Structure 1
Amino acid sequence: MQHVIVRTKLQASIVERLVEDQVVRPPFHLIQASHASEPDPTPHLGKLLRLAGRVTVIRRPHHGFVRVFLYFLGLLIRSRIDGSDVFLANVNWYHFGLALRLVPGKRIRTFDDGTANVQPRSAFYTDDVVDLSSIRGHVARRLFPGGVARFTRSRIERHYSIYPDMENIVDAQRIVPVRIDWKSMLSAEDVTRLPRQVSRILIGTVYQEALKIWGIDVDDARIAKAIAWADLYLPHPRQPGSHAVDECLKKYPAEALISFYASRGPIQVAHFNSSAVLPFANDPRIQLIDLSRDPPLAMLSGQ
């Protein structure tokens, strides 16, 4: 039985496609990983839950580092013995990386998590910052001199990517393209509930994180201006005080909505370094506006 670790809505969408492509074969073991600071992925796992032969739920940090590490260690040992595949997206998890290090010869399969896969400044590429003043920090640096992500990437057998034309966490020879018809995800019933006249879409972010990561001046007034510019605003699920969003919009990844509206005519999509726009980088129907770049929000002026 194959083992698949899923954490987010996007990851669930990719795994669904891998099931359709018969890369992941039911009945598989679905490992639902969640974190207290992130949206619960359960509402987006309906199809995978129905196809899974076994389901395990891991809640971080509730279950604790040691307990999660021991679970992954047991999983990897069993999969090494029986030759079963292990799929996951997050290559920067210390509990998984440590377990993988203790199972010599075990190879894994990975799939995209978002912008972290294609930006060299992300934690999927860079040496992890660990607290060297702590015992855990010293141990982590000794076990992973170049960072846990670097080690985990070295054990990847195949990487399944929705960004096949971009550099990723492994060399091109190990990348398998994954083609998703995003628009087809929308049910006919939900299409009738979507806003009709949409030519400008704003994909929100966690603004305080954006300020910290990119150092851009995104104050409340500028955010309000960007929201007013858009015909359709898709707030980030983790943004505190997010605007109310219709339930039919919450069901789907932003990629599905972008693809749907692009099929009806040219659109503009403003975003803050969002992974949702990456599949549309060369789509002539879509003008992408990255608001994380200097000068922030300048492209929305006078529109």
Structure 2
Amino acid sequence: MVVGIKNFNLFICSTPLQMIIAEKIIITNRLPSEKNIIIVLHANSNEKYLNYANRLKKLAFEMFYFSMDFGSSRIKKLKHHYKIKNFLKCNFSNENSYDVYFANINDMTISQLCTMINVNRVFTFDDGIGNVNKKSIYFRDEKNSIQNKILRWIMGIKEKQITLKGKIFKHYTIYDGLDNIVKKEKLIPLSIWPFDSDLNKTKGVREIKKIFLGQPFNELGVEEQIIIKNIKSLGIEYYFPHPREKNKIHNVNYINTSMIFEEYIYNEIIENTDTSYEIYSIISSALLNINELSLTERLSVCYLYTDDIKKQYSDVYELFDKMNIYSIKIR
């Protein structure tokens, strides 16, 4: 059980990007490791997850993992929340208070955590493009099914998305200049992959590396053959796969790394000063995440679209256009 120090920092993360942002917050604010507790909620654990979790673990004195892989099973979900309840009773003292940091304001596990512990202040940070997309779940009223209402009653979960949103003290954002889930005076810009004049240093560009960011095209309603045809016509030779992709694209070089794309490309630009990079995707949020890097002369980003998909995801493409991301119509 945590004893001694009265106030702790509790970080709750569920994606590699969230873990990178949490790492940056800790380092920027010089939060001492002996006060930091990490809870990782994961739907599936893979190499990237473990890479960033192990990195973040070095900045805390305790880290806990909980699997969220219960799908649509009501029994598994109920068991999960009982597990969280028992965990909190055994490991968190009501004598202590906690500054809580998290991204997913709509997550019931986070609502349960914030209900059961003595919360001092609530800090939030970006989950991704959903924070700046006004049509995302973060900007809509929470829909409580009968199943969730029963679960909340059984577990005594009082906090909801709307109440957590109202308690946010400050919000850390990687999307400086864009509206977010809180008022502007509560926003704290956080530069994870900053543009630096050193990134323009070059020995003379000898190679242009074209990379396509993969996505689960079947979920987007995009025909894979259209993607393959345009990868070929644009002369794209490298492919960065998405974890949920089922099919493999042939005749391209797959990039296999334990890093997420944003960090991978940042390191590439620093290390390969004789190379320029062109990044292509359909609707990947990574295009927005690395947009600051496009200030360097050695990186350009571009989204590909069809009329149908641009209509379907108009809110996301409007953000891309607002950030002056180049576009190409494909057929």
* TM-score bracket, shorter-length normalisation: 0.7 to 0.9
Q: Which runs of 5+ in 1 are unaligned?
A: 185-195, 212-217
Residue number in structure 2 paired with 1:187: none
Q: Percent identical across equivalent pairs? A: 21
Q: 1:139: Cα distance to partner?
A: 7.3
Q: Which amino acid aligns with 1:120?
A: K
1:220 partnered with 2:227: no
1:209 partnered with 2:219: yes
User: Do the aligned residues in 2 keep the contact of 1:76 with 1:99 (CA within 8 Å)?
Assistant: no
Residue number in structure 1 paired with 2:81: 66
Relative to its length, the structure with more strand (as a share) is: 2
Q: Which runs of 5+ in 2 are unaligned?
A: 1-7, 71-75, 197-205, 311-326
Residue number in structure 2 paired with 1:278: 288
Q: 1:266: Cα distance to partner?
A: 5.5
Q: How do 1:147-166 residues align onto structure 2 when only pairs under 5 Å count? A: 148-166=160-178
1:253 partnered with 2:265: no
Secondary structure of 2:207 counterpart = coil
User: Do the aligned residues in 1 keep the contact of 2:304 with 2:329 (CA within 8 Å)?
Assistant: no
* Number of corresponding residues: 278
Secondary structure of 1:166 counterpart = coil
Secondary structure of 1:299 counterpart = strand
1:289 partnered with 2:308: no
User: Do the aligned residues in 1 keep the contact of 2:41 with 2:65 (CA within 8 Å)?
Assistant: yes
Q: 1:199: Cα distance to partner?
A: 3.7
Residue number in structure 1 paired with 2:62: 54
Residue range with higher mean Cα deviation, 200-209 or 38-47: 38-47
Residue number in structure 1 paired with 2:135: 121
CA distance in 1, matches of 2:304, 2:187: 30
Secondary structure of 2:280 counterpart = strand
CA distance in 1, matches of 2:145, 2:44: 22
Residue number in structure 2 paired with 1:231: 237
Larger Rg: 1 or 2?
2
Q: What CA deviation, in whole Å up to 9, does each residue of 1:9-47 have, x standing for no partner?
A: 211221221222125431321112111498761122222
Residue number in structure 2 paired with 1:9: 16
Equivalent of 1:25 in 27, 32, 53: 32
CA distance in 2, matches of 1:239, 1:155: 37
Secondary structure of 2:227 counterpart = helix
Residue range with higher mean Cα deviation, 256-265 or 268-277: 256-265
Q: TM-score, normalised by structure 1?
A: 0.74
CA distance in 2, matches of 1:31, 1:181: 24
CA RMSD of aligned residues (A): 3.8
Q: Which amino acid aligns with 1:291?
A: L
Q: TM-score, normalised by structure 2?
A: 0.69
Residue number in structure 2 paired with 1:190: none
User: Do the aligned residues in 2 keep the contact of 1:73 with 1:100 (CA within 8 Å)?
Assistant: no
Q: Which amino acid aligns with 1:288?
A: V
User: Do the aligned residues in 2 keep the contact of 1:204 with 1:233 (CA within 8 Å)?
Assistant: yes
Q: Which amino acid aligns with 1:223?
A: I
